[in-house]
Structure 1
Amino acid sequence: SVRHTTPGVSLISPPPYHDIYSIEDLKQLIYDLRCGNPRARISVKLVSEIGVGTVAAGVAKANSDHVLIAGHDGGTGASPLSSIQAAGVPWEIGLAETQQTLVLNDLRSRIWVQTDGQLKTGRDVIVAALLGADEMGFSTAPLIAQGCIMMRACHLNTCPVGIATQDPELRKRFAGQPEHVVNYFFFVAEEVRGLMAKLGVRRFVDLIGHTEMLEADEAIDHWKARGVDLTHLLAKPDVPDDTPLRRMQPQESPLVNALDWELIRAAKDAIDHRKPVTGEFAVRNVDRTVGGLLSSAVTVVHGADGLAPESVRFTLRGSAGQSFGAWLAPGVELTLVGDANDYTGKGLSGGVVAVFPPEEASYVAEESVIVGNTVLYGATSGRAFFRGLAGERFAVRNSGASAVVEGVGDHGCEYMTGGRAVILGPTGINFAAGMSGGVAYVLDEDDSFGDRCNLELVDFDPIEEADAIELRALVEEHHLRTLSSVAARLLQDWESALGRFVKVMPRDYKRALAELAAAERESDAELGEPMRATDESEAVAAPVGSPHTGTARQS
């Protein structure tokens, strides 16, 4: 339930992060996360490698609060052994480079630095602090304190000591106690205190970045250590004496001039008293993540359930910036008359997004791009309607939202695990790559879709009666919200149009739904209750993130 997937369906985990291709993309993601929770501390994890200092400087400039330098020795038991053995460099090297680069560029004072990767002792903590770490991460050692025996089967649900498993029988074997971990860290802290006393340091923060307290051990005579020069590792940057060597102040907030503060004021009656509100606003492409802070404000008051449908209905006119409608909470509807950039609807969480061109537009909507790339990335619920074309990777990792669009670029519905996608136009190549859940309905008017779909995990299934009802409801709502001429044409002769749709169905997902339906029937039979799923087609048609079929109105 946490990952919004169907039990019994294999996942590609983790999928590639298709919203991070550059440091600018990372900055946008950090901005998105700040909008989702303005009070959260944003952290970026980096692999310890040559050049990590430059990346860490970019992370600091991108407004992250925290950066983690992960050494090559760590790694979950689910990681490939080749990656654990051959990827990255020791945390000491990456940490030293990060500290020196941040200090030289006057960035160290505004970001926390953490390191991890098989830290086990108080001595490791002291060395990490002297090399520049504010914080240290421990994982393997506390796991062993709880009983882990390093079977490296964390991803197989077969952990013999009951730690990394959901199997009830195996979990009975778990013998760990909180006190085991607490005692371990007591010993680590005691060793840290002893070493600090030997160094003559009273406060832990006075250790951070003071590499002059470290020196290479000259007594090492192993042949592998001959010629090793740690001069650069232990070097102190040539900066004024008063230059901060640790985090001293918070990052400046990038949210001060966000459009959402105006939206929150306009939605005050809905948030405080659950009274429906409407409004119209101008939007520009500098207005990013519109709806994110508003959804955060709704969630703080009302939780994940949000507001009743149509409680907040705002219309915006213009060209929206990146991540329009991100994190949109239940009860919030944003209608954009214009166009939007990449990441529209990212993390959609129950709200409704509609985008269509203005009436005076001189271009043909269904032949023009209306939203950018990576739309609905990671959406979990809600609905989205786009009168026009979307860019590449439409609905990537969608796990519950329902969407209608009039054409997509390459890699549509990639890594999708739930929800519904209706494509009323052409698609690019590699459609449904890695798609393990959800259903896509594609209008294939020239019988060419089969050549552009990746059939490794999916099949083309017949459209059953329940599918047709669901599909028509989505197309009707698309027409209602966007005045789409494509939807109007299809609805005029629906029976004929229905025959031109292709249903894209993941094989694993279909099997899992059939098994769940069978288990449900068996349970009902034992209880003497009437069956709720009478056949497999009904079970398959039961949507994950099904469309709202109420009387939604044009915003």
Structure 2
Amino acid sequence: IAAGVAKGTADVIVVSGYDGGTGASPKTSIKHTGLPWELGLAEAHQTLMLNGLRERVVLETDGKLMTGRDVVMAALLGAEEFGFATAPLVVLGCVMMRACHLDTCPVGVATQNPELRKKFMGDPDHIVNYMLFIAEEVREFMAALGFKTFDEMIGRTDVLQISERAKAHWKASQLDLSTLLYQPEGVRTFQTPQNHKIDQSLDMTTILPAVKEAIESGKEADVDVEINNTNRVAGTVTGSEISKRYGAEGLPDDTIKLRFTGSAGQSFGAFVPKGMSLYLTGDSNDYVGKGLSGGKIIVKAPETFNCSSHDHVIIGNVAFYGATSGEAFISGRAGERFAVRNSGVNVVVEGIGDHGCEYMTGGRVVVLGDVGKNFAAGMSGGIAYVLTDDPKAFKRKCNLEMISFEALEDEQEIQDVKAMIEKHAAYTDSPKAENLLNQWEETVKKFVKVIPKNYKQMLLSIEEQKAAGLSEEEAIMYAFEANTKPAAKAKASADQKQAVAQ
């Protein structure tokens, strides 16, 4: 794996050991999953050297590094960078309650609860002092080993010896550690930066020159672009130029329209901001709209495509991962892990694979077709509307831990979903969308609304508080308090009843 990603022009390779990790992990994972970083680091370092790749990448390791000695050991086995997490958290006040996922952290580290956050006593100087002591211990070990610079020490396994205590141990004495200490000949550290060929990318050669004036003046631009699957992250560099100039506000909607024809490579439209609209006639690989940040993405099949597009996969896996805002309309099916960690994008698609809407926290997803297994696992926010002829079969595909099902009955909500499908039909000329709109009275009965239980409770609480006279911001904070603390929940219920009575 290390050799492969180095050839794929990775800049940094991280070998992460099993000892570290989030306190939200299950005990079984903490105790029984993974291997020590020493094993992975030594093998990765040796493999990269034997294949002439070590000089092209920075090798990093982490996994509960706690002392200067840990850093020195990692360096001798081949690491150049080191990740610290558990120890600095403890320095900041973490007491390792292992409740990071419950929003009940007693020292205010892993929580959004403002009352608990008041208990946080950490200070940046605490981390500075801790890291200074780490550095001091590293210098002491370097002096003892005779190294003047840190780079001299990297990969020098020849200064390591198996201790007599280990040799005498009834179990450790049976281990053969010679492969761990093997030292290949060649360059042991990062020397030559990877050539990512960004200057040869579609953005740099074609898109940016065509829309430069639009970015500078806000004047509208409409550009036709041929694309193929070697053109990755199309639109992303252009989007970054907009963000540099205008920040999160971006440009007015549809200021820059990019009309692509062909098969797009990975991460088509990743991170594009408000003001950019990407139209793709063709298909795309994985990660379409990753981190979409206000832009618009439309994907449809060519007019010459004679089959029913809604029966065919038109974009790959992990589309709209971590997207935060914007719109998307996909006239065809998507692969697995669609809209994972979506926190604000509204998207219409005509079918998806397994693990759809996993860890979703916001936004709306309308699926006009089948979904794969494990739908809505860990979904804590947002709403999905799934069109199905067999609600029972659909529900069997869902992860039921955090969600509930409802019929689409609220009139305003019905109009919102219909408006999304109308946009989908207008942008993509989707025959399926047109057919569903023509039979809307029957169509609306086939939708199953998927909404997280706690998310629904929060929405109801907010509406109740607003009805009682609180502002929206006050209602949100009040609802948050009421739904995260049992005592506050009881008090809020009593206060709300009193307010309604008054």
Instruction: Provide Cα deviations, 1:443-483, integer angstroms capped at 9, x if missing partner.
Output: 34xx3243123452231233211112212211221222122
CA separation of 1:111 and 1:524: change in aligned 2, threshold 3 A: same
**Equivalent-residue separation in structure 2 for 1:368 and 1:196 (angstroms):** 60
Which of 455, 467, 474 pairs up with 2:420? 474
Partner of 2:60: 114
Partner of 1:324: 268
CA separation of 1:95 and 1:489: change in aligned 2, threshold 3 A: closer
Deviation, structure 1 residue 68: 1.9
Q: 2:196 aligned with 1:225, yes or no?
A: no
RMSD of aligned Cα (Å): 2.8
Deviation, structure 1 residue 100: 1.3
**Equivalent-residue separation in structure 2 for 1:139 and 1:337 (angstroms):** 45
Partner of 2:145: 199
Deviation, structure 1 residue 430: 5.1
For 2:421, give the aligned amino acid: V
Which of 58, 67, 71 pairs up with 2:4? 58
451-460 or 97-106, which deviates more: 451-460
Q: 2:334 aligned with 1:390, yes or no?
A: yes
**Equivalent-residue separation in structure 2 for 1:144 and 1:231 (angstroms):** 35
Partner of 2:196: 253
**Equivalent-residue separation in structure 2 for 1:347 and 1:236 (angstroms):** 42
**In proportion to residue count, which structure has more helix?**
2
Which of 387, 393, 410 pairs up with 1:451? 393
61-70 or 414-423, which deviates more: 414-423
CA separation of 1:267 and 1:88: change in aligned 2, threshold 3 A: same
Aligned length: 469
CA separation of 1:147 and 1:286: change in aligned 2, threshold 3 A: closer
Deviation, structure 1 residue 254: 4.0
**Equivalent-residue separation in structure 2 for 1:522 and 1:278 (angstroms):** 49
Give secondary structure in 1 for the equivalent of 2:99: coil
**Equivalent-residue separation in structure 1 for 2:374 and 2:164 (angstroms):** 58
Aligned ranges for residues 127-142 of structure 1 at < 5 Å?
127-142=73-88
**Equivalent-residue separation in structure 2 for 1:105 and 1:526 (angstroms):** 60
350-359 or 307-316, which deviates more: 350-359
For 1:116, give the aligned amino acid: D
Deviation, structure 1 residue 113: 1.3
Instruction: Provide Cα deviations, 1:401-442, integer angstroms capped at 9, x if missing partner.
Output: 112233444554444332222233444555445443322333
Partner of 2:14: 68
Instruction: Provide Cα deviations, 1:181-229, integer angstroms capped at 9, x if missing partner.
Output: 2222222222222222222221111111111222222255444433444
Q: 2:139 aligned with 1:189, yes or no?
A: no
Which of 108, 118, 125 pairs up with 1:162? 108
Instruction: Provide Cα deviations, 1:64-103, integer angstroms capped at 9, x if missing partner.
Output: 2112222232233222233222222332222222221111
Are the counterparts in 2 of residues 463 and 503 from structure 1 also a CA contact under 8 Å? no
Give secondary structure in 1 for the equivalent of 2:467: helix
Are the counterparts in 2 of residues 430 and 452 from structure 1 also a CA contact under 8 Å? no
Are the counterparts in 1 of residues 408 and 445 from structure 2 also a CA contact under 8 Å? no
Q: 2:49 aligned with 1:93, yes or no?
A: no
Q: 2:289 aligned with 1:341, yes or no?
A: no
Are the counterparts in 2 of residues 461 and 505 from structure 1 also a CA contact under 8 Å? no
Instruction: Provide Cα deviations, 1:354-373, integer angstroms capped at 9, x if missing partner.
Output: 12233333333344443333
Aligned ranges for residues 538-549 of structure 1 at < 5 Å?
none
Give secondary structure in 2 for the equivalent of 1:226: helix
Instruction: Provide Cα deviations, 1:369-403, integer angstroms capped at 9, x if missing partner.
Output: 43333332332221111223334444343322112
Partner of 2:25: 79
**Equivalent-residue separation in structure 1 for 2:474 and 2:350 (angstroms):** 47
Partner of 1:313: 257
**Equivalent-residue separation in structure 2 for 1:144 and 1:500 (angstroms):** 52
For 2:80, give the aligned amino acid: D
Give secondary structure in 2 for the equivalent of 1:487: helix
Deviation, structure 1 residue 333: 0.4
For 2:393, give the aligned amino acid: D
**Equivalent-residue separation in structure 2 for 1:405 and 1:485 (angstroms):** 13
What are structure 2's unaligned runs of at least 5 residues?
Answer: 476-502
Partner of 1:280: 224
Are the counterparts in 2 of residues 406 and 424 from structure 1 also a CA contact under 8 Å? yes
Are the counterparts in 1 of residues 328 and 348 from structure 2 also a CA contact under 8 Å? yes
**Equivalent-residue separation in structure 2 for 1:379 and 1:480 (angstroms):** 23
Aligned ranges for residues 365-444 of structure 1 at < 5 Å?
365-428=309-372, 431-444=375-388
Are the counterparts in 2 of residues 95 and 131 from structure 1 also a CA contact under 8 Å? yes
CA separation of 1:229 and 1:409: change in aligned 2, threshold 3 A: closer
For 2:189, give the aligned amino acid: R
Are the counterparts in 1 of residues 337 and 355 from structure 2 also a CA contact under 8 Å? yes
**Equivalent-residue separation in structure 1 for 2:373 and 2:70 (angstroms):** 50
For 2:361, give the aligned amino acid: T
Instruction: Provide Cα deviations, 1:276-305, integer angstroms capped at 9, x if missing partner.
Output: 111111122222222222222222222222
**Equivalent-residue separation in structure 1 for 2:220 and 2:260 (angstroms):** 17
Instruction: Provide Cα deviations, 1:473-508, integer angstroms capped at 9, x if missing partner.
Output: 112212221223333334445445434433333333
Are the counterparts in 2 of residues 427 and 449 from structure 1 also a CA contact under 8 Å? no
Instruction: Provide Cα deviations, 1:308-359, integer angstroms capped at 9, x if missing partner.
Output: 1111012112222233222221110011222223332222221111122333
What are structure 1's unaligned runs of at least 5 residues?
Answer: 1-54, 530-555
CA separation of 1:248 and 1:279: change in aligned 2, threshold 3 A: same
61-70 or 155-164, which deviates more: 155-164
Q: 2:294 aligned with 1:355, yes or no?
A: no
Are the counterparts in 2 of residues 71 and 116 from structure 1 also a CA contact under 8 Å? yes
For 1:70, give the aligned amino acid: S
491-500 or 394-403, which deviates more: 491-500
* TM-score normalised to structure 1 length: 0.77
**Equivalent-residue separation in structure 2 for 1:144 and 1:434 (angstroms):** 28
Are the counterparts in 1 of residues 320 and 338 from structure 2 also a CA contact under 8 Å? yes
Give secondary structure in 2 for the equivalent of 1:256: helix
Partner of 1:289: 233
CA separation of 1:515 and 1:249: change in aligned 2, threshold 3 A: same
Give secondary structure in 2 for the equivalent of 1:524: coil
**Equivalent-residue separation in structure 2 for 1:176 and 1:528 (angstroms):** 28
Are the counterparts in 2 of residues 442 and 503 from structure 1 also a CA contact under 8 Å? yes
Are the counterparts in 2 of residues 354 and 385 from structure 1 also a CA contact under 8 Å? yes
**Equivalent-residue separation in structure 2 for 1:382 and 1:190 (angstroms):** 49
Partner of 1:105: 51
Give secondary structure in 1 for the equivalent of 2:229: coil
**Equivalent-residue separation in structure 2 for 1:417 and 1:355 (angstroms):** 24
CA separation of 1:173 and 1:487: change in aligned 2, threshold 3 A: closer
For 1:256, give the aligned amino acid: D
63-72 or 417-426, which deviates more: 417-426
Instruction: Provide Cα deviations, 1:227-280, integer angstroms capped at 9, x if missing partner.
Output: 44432222211x3xxx21011121111433221221122111222221111111
CA separation of 1:217 and 1:527: change in aligned 2, threshold 3 A: closer
CA separation of 1:478 and 1:146: change in aligned 2, threshold 3 A: closer
Instruction: Provide Cα deviations, 1:135-188, integer angstroms capped at 9, x if missing partner.
Output: 222233333333333333333333333333334444333333333322222222
